[in-house]
């Protein structure tokens, strides 16, 4: 069935050239691959890595915004932020559930996050010192996430594609509430506008980094494209995001912190697009390797939540066991 | 953490509205059925996705073997006489 079919099942495959060619033919015919179907070990491994990193990102992503729930300036903003953070938790759960269909256990995934072994999106290792950061995250971080996630709705692996369809349906509200928040600040007092611009200055480059290394440096891209796990390269998606977002900033009187940003008519096969400055990849790799501003805080917060919740998990299991024993005795 | 007991896995089915079937939407972990239903409500129905939830222990579901899908399902492919369009009737009879 969905998750369970694989547990204890022998997922080893004889990866003869015929097997791999037959698998590729299914992919090329746009057939979806489902949990119990035979698949190359590397396909399985790539998906576990991608889906679990994605799930961890959703879960860790609750922290920077959760930081502002109690201090949201109005009830309207507070209900929106609460609903958004709850959605992120839900997205993490859909994705863990999709990863589990590949034969990896939830316990193992949680363990990898808590020990710092698992990677998650570098963006969540930046701090949220002002209220405008909540607007910038919704607009830019969720905006970039949507760019990445919409093509994943057509991913060749069925459970991942289905989870992404749910996620994308919900994500649109996240981006709109963020942009609305930024618009309000940009139309506000000088101080409020300055706060919005400052948040944009701090989040713009990290948002561009969310698409991952340049195509020339990305170690996973080619095979993932051939397997139709990914449909666009990192650089293609980054360009789409820049082209979509720059006019949104202009519309509300904010500007991107990039002197090299210029319109280039010849880009995108003559449709035009923006040239933009060089991304600081040293900063990206520093954050990925655990040396960002908030890496330690994020993992510590997750560990604390796990430890503080231990008695709840134990009590729930003990209660379930007692009920089962009573039922058996009756 | 490693000495903790595993929290069981449940498959979740939602009926979008009366008149439709319950449909599989995903899975979750919960200690017992009551908690699974509560968690399913929080995880899978935040936007009016349904009015009824079923949860089933994942280990209680039996699945057909994909390696046997040819012998299970291909025999139906050449039985066109099971479909109404296989039978010729006079045009004059109209819709039947």
Q: Which residue has 């595993």 as its token pair?
A: B6
Longest dimension (CA), chain A: 78
| Contact (CB, 8 A) for B25 and B56 | no
H or E element at residue B56: strand B52-57
Q: What is residue A97's predicted lDDT score, i.e. its pLDDT?
A: 95
CA angle A253, A257, A263 (to 5 degrees): 75
User: Which three-class secondary structure state does DSSP give residue A130?
Assistant: coil
Q: What is residue A11's predicted lDDT score, i.e. its pLDDT?
A: 58
- Residue A268 zone, left/alpha/beta (φ > 0; ψ -120 to 50; rest): left
- Residue B74 zone, left/alpha/beta (φ > 0; ψ -120 to 50; rest): alpha
User: Which of these, A224, A162, A173, A252, lies nearest to A27 by C-alpha position?
Assistant: A224
- Mean pLDDT per 10-residue interval, chain A, length 330 residues: 46 81 96 93 95 96 95 97 96 96 94 92 96 98 95 96 94 95 98 98 97 82 89 94 98 98 94 96 94 95 96 96 93
In the sheet with B23-29, reading across from the earlier edge strand, the strands are B23-29, B9-15, B52-57
pTM score of the predicted model: 0.91
How close is the nearest chain B Cα to the Cα of A16, in Å?
Answer: 17
H or E element at residue B24: strand B23-29
How close is the nearest chain B Cα to the Cα of A320, in Å?
Answer: 6
Helix A106-114 vs helix A41-60: angle between axes, to the nearest 10 degrees?
60
Domains belonging to chain B, first-starting first, are 2-86 (3.10.20.520)
CA distance A152 to A172: 15
Q: What is residue A3's predicted lDDT score, i.e. its pLDDT?
A: 46
User: Which of these, B11, B23, B9, lies nearest to B51 by C-alpha position?
Assistant: B23
CA distance A138 to A175: 5
Contact check, Cβ <8 Å, B27/A97? yes
CA distance A229 to A152: 7
CA angle A313, B42, A53 (to 5 degrees): 75
Which of A4, A93, A313 has its CB closest to that of B9?
A4
Q: What is residue A312's predicted lDDT score, i.e. its pLDDT?
A: 95
User: Which of these, A256, A239, A238, lies nearest to A247 by C-alpha position?
Assistant: A256
User: Which of these, A182, A183, A172, A110, lies nearest to A142 by C-alpha position?
Assistant: A172
Residues of chain B falling short of pLDDT 50: 1-2
- For chain A, strand residue ranges (E) read 262-264, 273-275
For residue A188, what are the CA distances in angstroms to A133, A191, A211, A252, B49?
16, 8, 32, 11, 38
- Residue A266 zone, left/alpha/beta (φ > 0; ψ -120 to 50; rest): alpha
CA distance A246 to A125: 24
Q: Which residues of B touch A (CB under 8 A)?
A: 1-2, 4-7, 9, 11, 24, 26-32, 35, 42-43, 46-47, 58-59, 61-63, 65-67
How close is the nearest chain A Cα to the Cα of B82, in Å?
Answer: 26
Q: Counting beta carbons within 10 angstroms of the beta carbon of residue A24, is it exposed (0 to 12), middle (13 to 18) or buried (19 or more)?
A: middle
Q: What are the residues facing A33 on neighbouring strands?
A: A157
């Amino acid at each position: 069935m969905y998750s369970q079919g694989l547990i204890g099942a022998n997922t080893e495959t004889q990866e003869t050239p015929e097997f791999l060619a037959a698998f590729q033919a299914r992919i090329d015919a746009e057939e979806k691959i489902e949990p119990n179907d035979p698949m190359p070990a590397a396909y399985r491994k790539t998906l576990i890595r991608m889906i679990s990193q994605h799930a961890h990102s959703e879960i860790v992503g609750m922290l920077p915004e959760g930081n502002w729930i109690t201090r949201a300036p109005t009830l309207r903003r507070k209900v929106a932020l609460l609903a958004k953070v709850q959605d992120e938790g839900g997205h993490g759960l859909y994705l863990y559930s999709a990863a589990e269909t590949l034969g990896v256990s939830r316990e193992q995934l949680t363990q990898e996050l808590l020990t710092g072994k698992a990677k998650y999106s570098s963006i969540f290792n930046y701090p949220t010192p002002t209220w405008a950061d909540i607007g910038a995250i919704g607009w830019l971080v969720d905006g970039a996430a949507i760019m990445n996630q919409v093509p994943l709705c057509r991913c060749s692996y069925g459970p991942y594609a289905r989870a992404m369809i749910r996620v994308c349906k919900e994500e649109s509200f996240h981006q709109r509430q963020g942009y609305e928040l930024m618009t309000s600040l940009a139309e506000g007092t000088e101080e409020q506008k300055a706060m919005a611009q400052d948040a944009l200055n701090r989040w713009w480059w990290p948002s561009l980094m969310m698409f991952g290394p340049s195509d020339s440096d990305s170690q996973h891209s080619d095979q993932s494209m051939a397997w139709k796990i990914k449909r666009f390269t990192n650089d293609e998606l980054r360009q789409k995001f820049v082209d979509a977002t720059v006019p949104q900033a202009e519309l509300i009187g904010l500007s991107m912190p990039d002197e090299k940003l210029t319109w280039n008519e010849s880009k995108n096969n003559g449709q035009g697009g923006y040239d933009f400055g060089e991304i600081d990849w040293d900063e990206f790799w520093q954050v990925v390797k655990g040396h960002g501003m908030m890496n330690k805080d994020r993992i510590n917060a997750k560990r604390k939540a796990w430890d503080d919740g231990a008695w709840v998990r134990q009590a729930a299991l003990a209660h379930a066991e007692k009920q089962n024993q009573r039922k058996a005795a009756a | 953490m490693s000495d903790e007991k595993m929290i069981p896995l449940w498959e979740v089915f939602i009926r979008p509205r009366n008149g439709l079937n319950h449909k599989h939407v995903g899975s979750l972990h919960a200690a017992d059925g009551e908690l699974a239903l509560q968690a399913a409500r929080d995880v899978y129905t935040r936007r009016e996705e349904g009015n009824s939830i079923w949860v089933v222990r994942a280990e209680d579901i039996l699945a057909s073997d994909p390696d046997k899908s040819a012998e299970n399902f291909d025999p139906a492919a050449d039985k066109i006489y099971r479909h109404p369009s296989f039978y010729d009737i006079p045009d004059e009879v109209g819709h039947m």
